[in-house]
Structure 1
Amino acid sequence: MRRTALLLPALSVALVALSPAPAQEPRGALAGAIASPLRSPANVARDRYRHPAETLAFFGVKPTDTVVEIWPGSGWYSEILAPMLREKGRYIAAGPLPRTAEMVTKLQARDATAFGKVQVVAFPAAAGTAGVPDGVADKVLTFRNVHNWRFGGTDQAQAAFNAMFRMLKPGGLLGVVEHRLPEARDAAAEEKSGYMKESSVIAFATKAGFKLAGKSNVNANPKDTADWPQGVWTLPPTYRLGDTDRAKYAAIGESDRMTLRFVKPK
């Protein structure tokens, strides 16, 4: 896989040049969700690193979509997506249980109207556990999670991409944001640094059946050299080194990130 993956960047550049951005509905719903007072101030403060308006526009998210977010974590994007999709669309939070359910419960306690329709399912879904049905999603999104599937001694990344492929409708879109490891680095760093090579992510998606449909540098950070003593967690918001060189890492900001758009062929 590594030898094949090295050929992918040149191909992907050609695809990006030929592939237009998805058709957009008026951006009022997205802009309103991002500007909503329902969002926590701490999350809003990170918009300058995560660029939610540009990222979700690049992924073509519309208020009428069924959107599955894989491993939503503490709900950073849930605060935006759930209210945006509440009236005309559908938001499904798919992640480890009970953590994902607890996150959604906290959002619902904050505002039952905005977050009351969120659906929670397990991902990955064990036997006998409800997961995302095949072919229901217009968009599947995952933010900074591929490296997590590379940990723990058993590589679950390919299984995750295969599952995301199944849950999408034909023509549906997968959006991936991930910490970026320079292509020249040893691929072994993917298993411990929190960074992934762009070619590796593309290879997982391609093997699952996806076609690369676009790249964006909206979440790029050229200050991040991806060689920190505690991996990506050296940088904000984690600051794993505590006060050691904190000002230095704060000046760098959050990680350099790839932003990739894939399509499930019709």
Structure 2
Amino acid sequence: MMRNAIIAGALLIGLAACGSETEPVESENASYSARQYMQAVNDIARIDDREFDETRQPAELLAFAQIDKGEVVGDYIMGGGYLTRLLATAVGANGKVYAFQPEEFIAFRPEYAEEQDAAVAPYADNDGNPVNVFPLRGPIAQPGWPEPLDTIITVMNFHDLYLTDFPEGTADEAVQMLYDSLKPGGTLVVVDHRAVEGGGVEAANTVHRMDSQLALDALTGVGFELEEESDLYARPDDPRTANVFDDSIRGMTDQFAWRLKKPE
């Protein structure tokens, strides 16, 4: 308990240093670099995450996502909270992170609830009240964001929308929700494991990979515009045929990374 209190106090001081009530949001035309996000990467709450940083390249991802101080960001399908912890410091004391864990995931694996609690705890005050990270739970297509968002990020989970375990139409409902949840001009960042070309819905269900053309058609179909594609996680040696949880490829899959815009 004492260790948690010390960590929480240190994080609150760090967040306060990241922004003040008068600090403006950075210009959308600002240049973004991995270097400017090193405070987020070095957050003391991320000690256990650092073993994954070499492959997940957190600073580069935040730069690609163009996260600004003071932004309101949704971590859609937060999993173990890896991205939540990065965003907490990246948005600063004036920003907000809504960390969404689907109820369906928790029902399948109850540990997801515990991981959500652990991810948001360091960013609460001494009374346990959220400072700038707020947990959300709900149906996968209905996160219940309490306000319009500047940015939504979903990493290695977009394919889950196409699992046949979910009711028919879940993917369409979720994609429309992502679009509607953003402010005009808002950004959606999607990172996912690439399936073989033409893999379709079957790839999501058999190897937990996303058919990139299927994803792009769904996203642009509701109005998103693809602003930039990054080769940050491109690994051409991956044949894209193995299940992403297979030891032979886990952590080294070929992935696409997109930044999409909702028009003004």
Identify whether the pair has TM-score above 0.5, normalized to the shorter chain.
Answer: yes
2:119 to 107, 113, 122: 107
Q: Counterpart in 2 of 1:208?
A: 222
Partner of 1:23, secondary structure, is coil
- State the TM-score, normalized to the length of structure 1: 0.75
Q: State the distance in 1 between where 2:167 and 2:40 align.
A: 38
Q: Counterpart in 1 of 2:197?
A: 183
The answer to whether 1:256 aligns with 2:262 is: no
Q: Counterpart in 2 of 1:147?
A: 159
Partner of 1:170, secondary structure, is strand
Q: State the distance in 1 between where 2:240 and 2:182 align.
A: 32
The answer to whether 1:69 aligns with 2:75 is: yes
Check whether the contact 2:32–2:63 (CA below 8 A) recurs between aligned residues.
no
Partner of 2:193, secondary structure, is strand
Deviates more, 1:153-162 or 1:117-126: 117-126
1:75-114 alignment, distance < 5 Å: 75-97=81-103, 102-110=114-122, 112=124
* Stretches of structure 2 lacking an aligned partner (at least 5 in a row): 1-27
Cα shift at 1:117: 2.9
Q: Counterpart in 2 of 1:124?
A: 139
Partner of 2:136, secondary structure, is strand
- 1:139-172 Cα offsets, whole Å, 9 max, x none, are 0110111111111163522211111111100000
Q: Percent identity?
A: 27
Q: State the distance in 2 between where 1:182 and 1:26 align.
A: 31
1:163 to 166, 177, 189: 177
Q: State the distance in 1 between where 2:140 and 2:42 align.
A: 34
Q: State the distance in 1 between where 2:90 and 2:237 align.
A: 33
Check whether the contact 1:190–1:196 (CA below 8 A) recurs between aligned residues.
yes
* Stretches of structure 1 lacking an aligned partner (at least 5 in a row): 1-20, 240-248
Cα shift at 1:212: 1.1
Check whether the contact 1:29–1:63 (CA below 8 A) recurs between aligned residues.
no
Q: Counterpart in 2 of 1:35?
A: 42
Q: State the distance in 1 between where 2:87 and 2:50 align.
A: 14
Relative contact order, higher structure (CA 8 A, sep 6+): 1
Q: CA RMSD in A?
A: 2.8
Q: State the distance in 2 between where 1:119 and 1:102 align.
A: 14
The answer to whether 1:196 aligns with 2:210 is: yes
Q: State the distance in 2 between where 1:113 and 1:33 align.
A: 19
Q: Which amino acid aligns with 1:70?
A: Y
Q: Which amino acid aligns with 2:189?
A: G
Q: How many equivalent residue pairs?
A: 226
Check whether the contact 1:125–1:131 (CA below 8 A) recurs between aligned residues.
no
Q: Counterpart in 1 of 2:232?
A: 218
Distance 1:105 1:216, change over 3 A: same
Check whether the contact 2:200–2:211 (CA below 8 A) recurs between aligned residues.
no
Q: Which amino acid aligns with 1:79?
A: R
- State the TM-score, normalized to the length of structure 2: 0.75
